[in-house]
Amino acid sequence: MPQGQPLVVPQDGLTTRQRRNRPLVVVHTGAMKGKSTAAFGLALRGWAQGWDIGVFQFVKSAKWKVGEENAFRALGRVHDETGEGGPVEWHKMGEGWSWSRKQGSDDDHAAAAAEGWLEIKRRLETERHDVYVLDEFTYPMKWGWVDVDDVVKTLVERPGHQHVIITGRDADLRLIEAADLVMETGKIKHPMDAGQKGQRGIEW
């Protein structure tokens, strides 16, 4: 597909190259499945660019994303062994964050989510990754476990060239306002309409 041309060239004092290479906040939202799938597809492309990928899963039980996790861990090993692509870190709240001393005991989901966000904030400050996937991060925002204004301010003011991809339903309007790209996956037709349940390899 061709890249397309923007309809308007903004008067922001930036060159086309500066504007083109602006780091993005991407939100995949909407009621349908496919949000995380699309986000991981984007991260895959970043990996191939040699970008450093950090995935943070904000769900208690992360069993549904085990396919993506295995694939990205394999890609991370490819990088470590051959130098191809970028390094990959995959962290999940469900088992206690890997950097946390409280591993395996995060019964307090609100505290665990807040701890996850604090770590991401630290990493954004030190420009640790090139691409951050904050999977299902809209939920802790929705439930008040992390402060939406803090998230938005941190994203807007993050230094360097760090892309941040956030998935989940019901993205807060302040996040949508701050994002550069908001994608919504819609269904035209779904096998569940025909009485079919989810299946391994397709739905998880």
Name the one range near its own copies by CB under 8 A: 78-86, 95-103, 107-115, 120-128: 78-86
Phi and psi angles of residue 83, each rounded to the nearest 5 degrees, phi first: 85, -5
**C-alpha span between 131 and 173 (Å, rounded):** 22
The answer to whether the CB of 86 falls within 8 A of the CB of 130 is yes
| Smaller CB separation from its own copies, 144 or 191 | 191
Of residues 170 through 199, those in contact with its own copies by CB under 8 A are: 176, 179-199
Shortest distance (Å) from residue 190 CB to its own copies: 6
For the CB of residue 140, give the shortest distance to its own copies in the complex, in Å.
Answer: 15
Residues 56, 183: Cα–Cα separation, whole Å: 19
Which residues lie closer than 8 Å to 100 by C-beta, 6 or more apart? 106, 115
Rounded Cα–Cα distance for residues 204 and 94 (Å):
16
The least distance separating its own copies from the CB of residue 174, rounded to whole angstroms, comes to 13
Site for its own copies in 120-149 (CB under 8 A): 136
**Contacting its own copies within 151-170 (CB under 8 A):** 163
Q: CB under 8 A: which stretch of 12-20, 114-122, 143-151, 152-160 binds its own copies?
A: 12-20
- Encoded amino acid at 55, one letter: V
**Span 22-51, contacts to its own copies by CB under 8 A:** 22, 24, 29-30, 32-34, 36-42, 44-49, 51
**Candidate list 60, 67, 154, 174; residue touching its own copies; CB under 8 A:** 67
Tokens of 124: 């954004």
**Does position 71 bind its own copies by CB under 8 A?**
yes
Axis-axis angle for helices 66-82, 35-48 (nearest 10): 0
